[in-house]
């Protein structure tokens, strides 16, 4: 996907630039943007490392595990038919916690494990089970409560209050997650009736 988007932006930009006579700008901007990406990463290094460091502390003292256990009632609600003692519950919970805390890259491997287990529970096949659908929709409804990366970007671009978006972002994320959960539950009910 990224291949096409990237090529599209470059080819379209240069073509339009040629027609609108902006080639000088295009040329300067290309080089400036590359420089800018590096200075952005320097800011990011600080903010991201601080955050993942704090999450390391949370993991080391068992707080992360505690949070995962707190997720269990939510998982029972979302996946009422999953076997209670199955390892998949733990995978789903830690995937959600990692997403909530803004550790997206840590969420993916454990999320894929969860998906594998869900597939073996559903008995294989190439069609998604209801549980798989719920898991993925909730995952994609954006669980992230603390958008660390957005805060880092904002501070790099001179925001006076980089973290001022936190409360609105939490509310907006709640809206999207509630909509995703509601939709999944409705679809599950409809499937039961059939």
Site for other proteins in 137-176 (CB under 8 A): 137, 139-142, 144, 146-147, 149-150, 153-154, 157-176
Q: Number of C-alpha atoms within 13 angstroms, CB side, residue 123?
A: 1
> Whole-number minimum distance, CB 176 to other proteins, in Å?
3
**Would you count residue 25 as binding other proteins (CB under 8 A)?**
yes
**Would you count residue 84 as binding other proteins (CB under 8 A)?**
no
* Helix 130-140 vs helix 104-122: crossing angle, to nearest 10: 170
Q: Could you say which of 1, 84, 193, 194 contacts other proteins (CB under 8 A)?
A: 1
**Would you count residue 87 as binding other proteins (CB under 8 A)?**
no
Whether 51 contacts 148, CB under 8 Å: yes
> Whole-number minimum distance, CB 90 to other proteins, in Å?
17
**Would you count residue 136 as binding other proteins (CB under 8 A)?**
yes
Residues 6+ apart with CB under 8 A from 146: 51, 101, 102, 166
Q: Note the Cα 127 to chain centre separation in Å.
A: 24
Distance CA 119, CA 111 (A): 12
Of the pair 84, 171, the CB lying nearest other proteins is at 171
> Whole-number minimum distance, CB 10 to other proteins, in Å?
5
């Amino acid at each position: 996907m990224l291949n096409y988007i990237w090529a599209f932006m470059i080819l379209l930009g240069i073509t339009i630039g040629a027609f609108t006579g902006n080639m000088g700008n295009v040329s300067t901007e290309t080089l400036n943007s590359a420089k800018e990406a590096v200075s952005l990463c320097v800011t990011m290094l600080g903010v991201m490392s601080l955050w993942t460091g704090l999450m390391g502390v949370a993991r080391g003292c068992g707080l992360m595990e505690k949070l995962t256990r707190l997720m269990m009632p939510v998982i029972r609600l979302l996946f009422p038919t999953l076997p209670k003692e199955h390892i998949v519950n733990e995978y789903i919970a830690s995937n959600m916690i990692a997403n909530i805390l803004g550790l997206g890259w840590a969420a993916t491997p454990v999320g894929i494990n969860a998906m594998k287990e869900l597939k073996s529970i559903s008995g294989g096949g190439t069609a998604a089970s209801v549980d798989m659908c719920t898991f993925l929709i909730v995952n994609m409804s954006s669980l992230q409560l603390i958008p660390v990366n957005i805060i880092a970007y904002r501070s790099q671009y001179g925001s006076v209050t980089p973290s001022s978006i936190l409360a609105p972002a939490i509310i907006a994320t709640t809206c999207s997650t509630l909509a995703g959960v509601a939709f999944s539950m409705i679809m599950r009910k409809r499937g039961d009736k059939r």
